[in-house]
Chain A
Amino acid sequence: MTSRQVDVLVVGSGPAGLATAARLARTGVRVEVLEREQSPGGVPRHCAHRGFGSLPHALTGPAHARLLAESAERAGAHVRTGVTALDWAGPRALTTVGPRGAETLVARAVVLATGARERPRAARLVPGTRPAGVYTTGELQQAVHLYGQRIGTRAVIVGAEDVSHAAADTVRAAGAEVVALVTELPRAPAAPVRTVTARLRFRTPVLTGTTVTELLGRGRLSGVRVRHRDGRTATLRCDTVVFTGDFVPDHELARRGALTLDPGTRGPAVDGALRTSRPGVFAAGSVLHAVESAATAAGEGAHVATAVRDWLTDGTGPDRTDPTDQTDQTDRRDPADPADRYWPAGVPLVADPPLLRIVPNRVAPADRLPYLLRTAVPLTRPVLHITQDGRPLHRERFPLTTAVPHRPLTLTAHWTHRVDPGGGPVHVTVT
């Protein structure tokens, strides 16, 4: 296998990866982006709806994907499609394969921007037969928007989040009927305007408090059985069902590399500079929080670029990667090494229930990136309390906000200088 040195390897060419690459390349850093698909852009490639880019509602997903890729390439980043990062070959080295064969790439820094995917039917343990016509939004959008495939005539959408409505739009664009959106939640979690539009303009029922209990049909799907929380059951006749939302980070490389994962996000744990537990390895985008918007991912890409540059210029010293060493894939921290002493600074940052997660999930005094939280239950005018070892660090009020599940809540980072880097975990609680 051939081996080659690069400055920075970015794995994944979605909004986070491309934004990282563009920003770094502009400052003269040699960046290589690995994309396993045949074209760059990530999930926006198959999101036909508008709402991407810096101007509100300015671009469709595919247009945005093209723009990001062009911008990264114009800046000098090398975006390689059809190349898969298979595994680690050292602390900052990856084995890859593509049509031109296998290659080991040894980098001074690696940025994981591997994104997220929806949990499919089996992972959700929905029983029944195994007929054709079962999709996730990702597969459905690619089938319709990239390949022009036929998807059936009547579709039930599992979920009622924004992504579920996007799936419903795709079903309609394919000329099929949306039978209903079905959610277990007592209230529709999407932006109210979307739910209202579905109900009034498209006359699509949004069934809340309702669970899909079984898929029916041999060969092709013939219907889904549903149960309302009051005990009523019904069969919705359909030949297509789309499982939407319920995103999980694509953390295969993070796990293969034995990076520390955050239990709340199941993605790699990162500090405010988006540094993972391994020196020189960073992460950005939906792999950190499955999922937030493309704009959030791109913002993190720009942010992580700064941290990567700091690591390359003053944090590093000589490159200590040995490409022949394939045994040690764990966190190799050496207290005597000046680079590793500063890596990663900070202490764990924990979101207590009913908060589900917080990103970043480690905190150091110098951190400046605002935090993204998700809640399991609706919170009216929430107040967040930040404490460390029982010591209050900060209190933040959201007087005009009702935080709801499936939407982010943003917390400032103005309080991080009060964190004791030698102390215990920092907790975020809500009242």
Chain B
Amino acid sequence: MTVTASGTLPVEPYDVVVVGAGVVGCAIARRLAHHPGLRVALVEAQDDVGQGTSKANTAILHTGFDAVPGSLEARLVRDGSRELAAYAAESGIPVERVGALLVAWDEEQLATLPRLAEKARRNDCHDTRVLGPADLYAREPHLGPGALGALHVPGESIVCPWTTTLAYAVQAVRGGVDLHLNSPVAHAGHPDGVHRLDTPRGPLHARRLVNAAGLHADTLDRSLGHDDFSVTPRRGQLVVHDKFARALVHHILLPVPTALGKGVLVAPTVYGNVLLGPTAEDLDDKRDTGSTAEGLARLREQCRRILPALLDEEVTAVYAGLRAATEHDDYRIAAHPGHGYVTVGGIRSTGLTASLAIAEHVTGLLAGTGLDLGPRRPLEPVRMPNLGEAFPRPHQRPELVAADPEYGTLVCHCERVSRGEIRDALAGPVPPRSLEGLRRRTRAGAGRCQGFYCGAAVRALFEEGPG
């Protein structure tokens, strides 16, 4: 198993290098790990997997009911959704099939619902149903007054995006993929038929290149002489509410898309919080993941209509993510066989849902460039530590605590994270390199006190390391 974060990168050319260890890049690397004959590297600019769009999204496992019928995105979301649901169940990734309600607040939105139901049918999503106000308020009694009806989409689910990305990365690394962190690609070229990627840790060579660089996919694409699309970072600010708010909402409450944009959603999370957001702000700066006073005020204003009682609960966290919006309506996934190069661009907000199907699709495209994948073997299944409230956490499993008291010793009280879980994360095959990375893996410090009680203790464990 090879995970590096410093030192010179290997000189020997890889068969395939995947640039970008977000959920999509990790899924592709995991898929390629099925072929033991391939030497594969996954290179990432930052110090951990899932650090870009993959960590700051709405954490929804979509059905694809509202995709553009017939598009590549529609197909990959539909297929990926089913595959990820099965993979999550097998790997211990928390998923809750809570269903979504597209709530209509005016006559125009109400009139849109049958059209949305029809679109859902064309996307192979046949179980949607239009609800009247009585049904709607019976399902969501805390919904603000004035809703006229809703489209119920039972298949929409909530999922843990961090665990998903990490599970892919762990399987990839265990399957022989080299993960090189802290390796931003400053320049890429294709001299002598082999890709050369220049990074601060030295050059890396690849016979085939997969561009899964997310927000930076257009830059990498251009440095290789292509100009298929440009990425506009679309900032989404999100507000995470206290777990006491979880009882206020039972479904993902989606806005009805109108000409004026998508609006904001209110959704439970698998950790038991309630999410409000996102904003949608087109920016120029691909690093501007700050929240703003205006953005937060706007979200809370919208919340007043959707779920007013949510405003009385404490806010646990605020974050902002950048989605990779392009000028196109669909994913930009393209092979350049002559170059041995596959671009995976414009994966917007459905990348998590579609990740496994994208990986399959990209692997097919790589084979189409003449890459001999060699024999295929099954990967050893991975079992991830559960971070979800709907499934037993380690401290709730008597057999685990009896076998190892460290699972009964809670360090982070708000999220009930045991010392055993922190120890395991630090000793994992893709270990955290920051407190933030540890928080994503365990939820330590992610609760309502934000470290008032446990911050120093968690830092001490992190600094001690796995030994």
Task: Flag the segment in A124-132, A314-322, A350-358 that touches B.
Answer: A124-132
Decide: B402 and A125 in contact? CB cutoff 8 A.
no
Closest CB of chain A to B390's CB: distance in Å? 16
**Docked pose: A37 CA to B449 CA in angstroms:** 15
**Docked pose: A121 CA to B317 CA in angstroms:** 8
Answer yes or no: A200 CB below 8 A from chain B CBs.
no
CB under 8 Å from chain A, chain B span 294-320: 295-296, 314-319
Decide: A142 and B455 in contact? CB cutoff 8 A.
yes
Decide: A82 and B409 in contact? CB cutoff 8 A.
yes
Decide: A117 and B287 in contact? CB cutoff 8 A.
no
Per-residue interface assignment for chain B, residues 408 to 428, with 1 indicating a CB less than 8 Å from any chain A CB and 0 otherwise: 111001001000000000000
Decide: A101 and B315 in contact? CB cutoff 8 A.
no
Residues of A within 8 A of B287 (CB): 218
Decide: B456 and A36 in contact? CB cutoff 8 A.
no
Residues of B within 8 A of A136 (CB): 449-452, 455
Closest CB of chain A to B250's CB: distance in Å? 19
**Docked pose: A82 CA to B406 CA in angstroms:** 11
Decide: B401 and A149 in contact? CB cutoff 8 A.
no
Residues of B within 8 A of A101 (CB): 398, 401-402, 408
Closest CB of chain B to A245's CB: distance in Å? 12
Decide: B316 and A117 in contact? CB cutoff 8 A.
no
Pick the most buried of A37, A118, A136, A139: most chain B CB atoms within 10 A of its CB.
Answer: A139
Decide: B295 and A149 in contact? CB cutoff 8 A.
no
Answer yes or no: B260 CB below 8 A from chain A CBs.
no
Answer yes or no: A135 CB below 8 A from chain B CBs.
yes
Q: For A84, give its contact among B240, B413, B460 (CB under 8 Å).
A: B413
Decide: A139 and B451 in contact? CB cutoff 8 A.
yes
**Docked pose: A147 CA to B459 CA in angstroms:** 9
Q: Determine the residue in chain A with the shortest Cβ distance to B47.
A: A219
Closest CB of chain A to B114's CB: distance in Å? 39
**Docked pose: A98 CA to B405 CA in angstroms:** 8
**Docked pose: A102 CA to B395 CA in angstroms:** 8
Decide yes or no: A122 and B315 within 8 Å by CB, A102-B401, A129-B290, A139-B452 being known contacts: yes
Q: What size tier do the contact residues of chain B reach?
A: 35 or more
Answer yes or no: B391 CB below 8 A from chain A CBs.
no
Decide: A36 and B452 in contact? CB cutoff 8 A.
no
Decide: A149 and B318 in contact? CB cutoff 8 A.
no
Per-residue interface assignment for chain A, residues 112 to 148, with 1 indicating a CB less than 8 Å from any chain B CB and 0 otherwise: 0000011111110101111010011011001100110
Decide: B395 and A149 in contact? CB cutoff 8 A.
no
Decide: B452 and A100 in contact? CB cutoff 8 A.
no
Q: Determine the residue in chain A with the shortest Cβ distance to B294.
A: A127
Answer yes or no: B435 CB below 8 A from chain A CBs.
yes
Answer yes or no: B109 CB below 8 A from chain A CBs.
no
Q: Determine the residue in chain A with the shortest Cβ distance to B449.
A: A117
Residues of B within 8 A of A143 (CB): 455-456, 459
Count of chain A residues near B, Cβ 8 A: 39
Decide: B395 and A118 in contact? CB cutoff 8 A.
no
**Docked pose: A97 CA to B315 CA in angstroms:** 27
Answer yes or no: A1 CB below 8 A from chain B CBs.
yes
Decide: B398 and A122 in contact? CB cutoff 8 A.
no
Decide yes or no: A147 and B460 within 8 Å by CB, A84-B410, A100-B408, A117-B449 being known contacts: yes
**Docked pose: A84 CA to B436 CA in angstroms:** 25
Answer yes or no: A106 CB below 8 A from chain B CBs.
no
Residues of A within 8 A of B293 (CB): 125, 127, 213-214
Answer yes or no: A28 CB below 8 A from chain B CBs.
no
Closest CB of chain A to B207's CB: distance in Å? 35
Closest CB of chain B to A151's CB: distance in Å? 10
Decide: A84 and B416 in contact? CB cutoff 8 A.
yes
Q: Determine the residue in chain B with the shortest Cβ distance to A217.
A: B290
Decide: B398 and A102 in contact? CB cutoff 8 A.
yes
Decide yes or no: A125 and B451 within 8 Å by CB, A84-B410, A102-B398 being known contacts: no
Q: For A127, give its contact among B296, B402, B410, B456 (CB under 8 Å).
A: B296
Closest CB of chain A to B244's CB: distance in Å? 6
Closest CB of chain B to A7's CB: distance in Å? 25
Decide: A149 and B314 in contact? CB cutoff 8 A.
no
Per-residue interface assignment for chain A, residues 42 to 65, with 1 indicating a CB less than 8 Å from any chain B CB and 0 otherwise: 000000000000000000000000
Decide yes or no: A118 and B452 within 8 Å by CB, A129-B289, A149-B459 being known contacts: yes
Decide: B449 and A120 in contact? CB cutoff 8 A.
yes
Q: Determine the residue in chain A with the shortest Cβ distance to B242.
A: A123
Decide: B409 and A98 in contact? CB cutoff 8 A.
yes
**Docked pose: A213 CA to B270 CA in angstroms:** 31
Residues of A within 8 A of B349 (CB): none
Residues of B within 8 A of A238 (CB): none
Decide: B450 and A147 in contact? CB cutoff 8 A.
no
CB under 8 Å from chain B, chain A span 239-261: 248, 255
**Docked pose: A354 CA to B315 CA in angstroms:** 26
Closest CB of chain B to A138's CB: distance in Å? 4
Answer yes or no: A99 CB below 8 A from chain B CBs.
yes
Closest CB of chain A to B262's CB: distance in Å? 22
Residues of B within 8 A of A118 (CB): 452
Decide: B455 and A139 in contact? CB cutoff 8 A.
yes
Residues of A within 8 A of B459 (CB): 143, 147, 149
Closest CB of chain B to A5's CB: distance in Å? 20
Residues of B within 8 A of A132 (CB): 434-436
Closest CB of chain B to A136's CB: distance in Å? 5
Closest CB of chain A to B297's CB: distance in Å? 9
Answer yes or no: B182 CB below 8 A from chain A CBs.
no
Decide: A123 and B314 in contact? CB cutoff 8 A.
yes
Closest CB of chain B to A280's CB: distance in Å? 24
Residues of A within 8 A of B463 (CB): 149
Answer yes or no: B457 CB below 8 A from chain A CBs.
yes
Residues of B within 8 A of A125 (CB): 293, 296, 315, 318
Decide: A138 and B398 in contact? CB cutoff 8 A.
no
Decide: B452 and A147 in contact? CB cutoff 8 A.
no
Pick the most buried of A100, A120, A121: most chain B CB atoms within 10 A of its CB.
Answer: A120
Q: Determine the residue in chain A with the shortest Cβ distance to B395.
A: A97
CB under 8 Å from chain B, chain A span 60-107: 82, 84, 86, 97-102
Residues of A within 8 A of B4 (CB): none
Residues of B within 8 A of A139 (CB): 451-453, 455-456
Closest CB of chain B to A11's CB: distance in Å? 12
**Docked pose: A3 CA to B466 CA in angstroms:** 35
Decide: B457 and A142 in contact? CB cutoff 8 A.
yes
Per-residue interface assignment for chain A, residues 137 to 166, with 1 indicating a CB less than 8 Å from any chain B CB and 0 otherwise: 011001100110100000000000000000
Residues of B within 8 A of A82 (CB): 409
**Docked pose: A197 CA to B459 CA in angstroms:** 33
Closest CB of chain B to A34's CB: distance in Å? 12
Residues of B within 8 A of A119 (CB): 314
Answer yes or no: B369 CB below 8 A from chain A CBs.
no
Decide: A127 and B409 in contact? CB cutoff 8 A.
no
Decide: B453 and A138 in contact? CB cutoff 8 A.
yes
List 13 interface pairs A-B (beta carbons < 8 Å), by A numbering.
Answer: A84-B395, A97-B395, A97-B396, A98-B408, A119-B314, A125-B293, A127-B295, A132-B434, A135-B455, A136-B449, A139-B453, A147-B457, A214-B293
With A101-B408, A138-B453, A143-B459 already in contact, 20 other A-B pairs whose C-beta atoms are closer than 8 Å:
A36-B410, A84-B413, A97-B408, A99-B401, A99-B405, A101-B402, A102-B401, A117-B449, A120-B449, A120-B451, A123-B314, A125-B315, A128-B291, A135-B451, A136-B450, A139-B452, A142-B455, A147-B457, A147-B459, A214-B290
Ranked nearest first, the 7 interchain pairs of A and B with the lowest CB-CB distance are A99-B405, A120-B450, A142-B456, A139-B455, A143-B456, A138-B452, A127-B291
